[in-house]
Structure 1
Amino acid sequence: MSQVLFSFFRYPMRKIPGALLLMGFQRLLAGRDMPAGVVRLMGCGSGDGFSVVPDLRAYCLMRVLANPNDEARLRRSRFYRAVAESSSDQLHFTLTPLSRRGTWDGEAVFNCRGASSSDRPLAVLTRARVTPGRALDFWRSVPGIRRQLRDTPGCAYHIGFGEHPLLTLATFSVWDGPASMQGFAYRNTPHHRAGHASRREDWLSESMFVRFALERLEGDLERYPRLAAIMGSRACHPPHRDRSGASRTQ
Structure 2
Amino acid sequence: MSRLVVFSFFRYSGLRVPDAFLRMGFQRFLMDRRLLAGRIRLMGCGGGDGFSVVPDLGAYCLMRVFADPGDEARLRRSRFYRAVADASSEQLHFTLNPVSGRGTWGGEALFEYRGGQQPDRPLVVLTRARVAPTRARAFWNSVPEIRRQLRETPGCPYHVGFGEHPLLTLATFSVWEDLSRMQAFAYRTTPHHRAGRASSQEDWLSESMFVRFAIERIEGDLERYPRLAALMESLERSAKPIFSAAPPRLGV
| Same fold, judged at TM 0.5 (above) | yes
User: Are the structure 2 counterparts of residues 65 and 144 from structure 1 closer, same or farther at C-alpha, using a change threshold of 3 Å?
Assistant: same
Aligned partner of 1:131: which letter? A
Alignment of 1:1-250 (within 5 A): 1-32=2-33, 34=35, 38-188=39-189, 196-197=196-197, 199-201=199-201, 202-235=203-236, 236-242=243-249, 245-246=251-252
Using a 3 Å threshold, how does the CA distance of structure 1 residues 196 and 7 change in structure 2: closer, same or farther?
farther
| C-alpha distance after superposition, 1:11-51 (max 9, x if no partner) | 01211221111111111211145357610000000120000
Q: Is the contact between residue 219 and residue 238 of structure 1 (CA under 8 Å) also seen in structure 2?
A: no
The runs of 4+ residues in structure 1 deviating greater than 6 Å are: none
Shift in Å at residue 129 of structure 1?
Answer: 0.4
Question: For residues 91 and 118 of structure 1, what CA distance do their matches in structure 2 show?
Answer: 24
1:16–1:3 CA distance, 2 compared to 1 (3 A): same
Task: Measure, in 2, the Cα distance between the counterparts of 1:166 and 1:25.
Answer: 20
Q: Distance in 2 between matches of 1:68 and 1:119?
A: 27
Work out the CA distance in 2 between the residues paired with 1:107 and 1:51.
26
2-side partners of 1:199 and 1:64: how far apart? 32
Cα offset, 1:69, TM superposition: 1.9
Q: How far did residue 240 of structure 1 move?
A: 1.0
CA distance in 1, matches of 2:251, 2:199: 41
Q: How high is the TM-score relative to the length of structure 1?
A: 0.92
Return the alpha-carbon distance in structure 2 between the equivalents of residues 216 and 226 of structure 1. 16
C-alpha separation between the residues in 2 aligned to 1:138 and 1:72? 38
SS in structure 1 at match of 2:74: helix
- In the TM superposition, residue 68 of structure 1 has moved relative to its aligned partner by 1.1
Q: Secondary structure at the match of 1:159?
A: strand
Q: Contact 1:97–1:113 at 8 Å: present in 2 too?
A: yes
Aligned twin of 2:240: none
Shift of 1:2: 3.3
Displacement, 1:157?
Answer: 0.1
Question: Structure 2 regions of 5+ residues with no counterpart?
Answer: 237-242
1:141 and 1:239 map into 2 onto residues whose CA distance is 38
Q: Please report the RMSD computed on the Cα atoms of aligned residues, expressed in angstroms.
A: 1.9
Would you say the 8 A contact 1:37–1:66 is kept in 2?
no
AA at the equivalent of 1:39:
I
Number of aligned residue pairs: 243
